Structure formats: structure tokens, C-alpha cells
Structure 1
Amino acid sequence: MVKTLNELELTVSRKIPAPRQKVFDAWLSPSMLAKFMRPGGKDMTAKASNDPVKGGRFSIVMTDDGKEIPHAGTYLEIDPHSRLAFTWESPHSCDDSVVTIDFAELEPGITEVTLHQVKFHSEQARDGHRGGWTAILEALEDTLG
């Protein structure tokens, strides 16, 4: 059975050896976002700006091989150190796509980050985002390490 665009979703998670507050705060810091929002690896660069309040906007422009890929969104929920939710606007996702990130302290200094995104143009777009978010979580761990 083929899923409709509204039913397509993904979940990725990663255990990061850093305190929950530090991991959470990295998602709201433009300088930190620029360091780990690079799913293309070290050859990719990113610029970020944001207004980290509910209803505030963010912008992340990833540059890969000279090509700029704009991403933006609106913060829907900011629950300090526990949850972030925001719209995700990119050339590769639906305009009403939403990303929710939960931060759980498994033990002191170990944080599990669980990212869930809904609504994609196609299964291929969803799978591409899964790879991108997985690479971003790896880069986040490297950045915080």
C-alpha cells in the first residue's frame, strides 16, 4: 500500500555523549547550527540565523559545491532541554512539514536525541531526509565532542 504525502514520516535517533542542556542549546545557537547543519560532510558549509522563541523564525543556508540550499522554518514549541518543534521549509520537503526533536537524559552526560519529521513529497524525499538528519546528528556529536 502506497502512503500519501501526509502519512510519510521518519524518525532518527542518536545517543550523544554530552549533557542534555548543551545538546539542546546547540539547536538554538546560530554559530553551533552552522557547525553541524552540514549533511554533506566537512566540504559543506552552512550559515544560520534565528529568533529562538515560539513563533520566531530561523534560516539555515547550506552550501554544497558552490550551490546554496536554503532552509527555514518557524519555531512551534521550545520546551527548554526537552523538546523543540518547528516547521521545515526546504526545496526537498513539503511546506507544511514539521520536525519535532526530543532530548532525553539517559544518564548524566548522555543524551538521546530523537528527531521525527512528517510530510514529504515522496518516499525518495523522505529517505533523503533520513540520510541528511542522520548525518546532521553525527555532525552534532562531533561538534559537541
Structure 2
Amino acid sequence: MDRKSLKIEKKINADATKLFRAWLNPNDFSCWFLSGDGIGIESVTIDPKPGGKFLINMSLDGKILPHEGEYITIDEPNKLVFTWRSEATENRDTIVTITFEELENSNSFDKKNTNKKSQTLVTLYQEELLNDIQIKMHHHGWTSILDSLNDWMDS
């Protein structure tokens, strides 16, 4: 079977280290990891080390949707690689790679327009998806999640 992948990029006004750490701190993670309207976070367990596991219990209409995986690579502040498994992947492992590239000569300013802020290009790849439906669902979810991360960093 032909495996499929997706790629999403988002420029976020924050430095790479702060963005990277937001993926590994359960309290912060719970604030911004929102994959769409009506979806909440019931609980998050993170063991942030290579071989460490995570469990994200999302909630939708009173139903718990577990998302789990294992960290493969934690290279702060450059790259995170982990497995990702959920009902939406038919409970099969997929591979997610997130890179954080701090951009030079950014013209981004804080809300008061007084201090130049760092800007980071966050690139998310997900591999081993089975079909176009999984790509579409995950593209929507990850895009919403990166938008939420951007909004959380901006607040």
C-alpha cells in the first residue's frame, strides 16, 4: 500500500526555544493544543524524553478521543519527532516531525510596536498516513493546532 504524507508550515512570532518547549510542557500544551471547534483537552500526560510516551485525551461531544505516541527525537530547539496514533489513523502509528527554524531579519513587532520579536518557521510533516481522507482530517487538525499555538504565543 502506498503511504501518504502531509506538510504544513506556519510562521509564528516567537523564538524557537519557547515554541519547542510549548510542545513538551503539559500545562502549556493543554492551553493551545486545540484541533478544531468543539474539541477540548480532557487530560495530557507527557514524558518528554526519547522513548518517553505521551497521551492526549481530547474531548468532543462528551466522548474522549485518545491520541498517543512515543518520542523518537527531542533536539531542542530544532526538531521533535514522535509517533502519532489515534482513531483517525485507524490506531496505526504514523510519524510526525516538527522543525523550528528561527528566521533572521524578521520585521515582526510586539503589539505595542516597540520591540522587535523573533519569528520562527514551524514545519510539521506527518508520514505513514493511509489515504486521502486521513490526510484531509490531519491537515485540518494540525492547521488548527498551529493556529492555536500562534494565538497562544500572541496572547
Would you say same fold, with TM above 0.5? yes
Q: Any idea what the Cα deviations from partners look like across 1:20-69, whole Å, max 9, x if unmatched?
A: 1100000001112212221123x421121110000000010111121111
Answer yes or no: is 1:78 the counterpart of 2:74: yes
In the alignment, is the contact (CA less than 8 A) between 1:40 and 1:64 conserved in 2? no
Residue 101 of structure 1 aligns with which residue? Answer: 98
Distance 2:97 2:150 in 1: 18
Task: Among all aligned residue pairs of Structure 1 and Structure 2, give the percentage whose two residues are the same amino acid.
Answer: 38
Counterpart AA for 1:16: I
Over alpha carbons, which structure has the higher Rg? 2
Distance 1:37 1:69 in 2: 14
Counterpart AA for 1:104: E
Distance 1:9 1:68 in 2: 26
Residue 141 of structure 1 aligns with which residue? Answer: 150
Q: Any idea what the Cα deviations from partners look like across 1:75-103, whole Å, max 9, x if unmatched?
A: 00000100000000111115231000000
Answer yes or no: is 1:16 the counterpart of 2:12: yes
Alignment RMSD (CA, Å): 1.3
Counterpart AA for 1:111: T
Q: CA deviation at 1:5?
A: 4.2
For residues 1-145 of structure 1, the aligned pairs below 5 Å read 4-6=1-3, 8-41=4-37, 43-46=38-41, 47-93=43-89, 95-107=92-104, 109-145=118-154
Where do 5+ consecutive residues of structure 2 fail to align? Answer: 105-116
Q: Any idea what the Cα deviations from partners look like across 1:108-144, whole Å, max 9, x if unmatched?
A: 6101100000112321111110010000000001111
Counterpart AA for 1:128: M
Aligned residues: 140
Q: More deviation in 68-77 or 93-102?
A: 93-102
In the alignment, is the contact (CA less than 8 A) between 1:77 and 1:84 conserved in 2? yes
In the alignment, is the contact (CA less than 8 A) between 1:5 and 1:120 conserved in 2? no
Q: Which runs of structure 1 show a deviation greater than 2 angstroms over 4 or more consecutive aligned residues?
A: none
Distance 1:114 1:67 in 2: 30
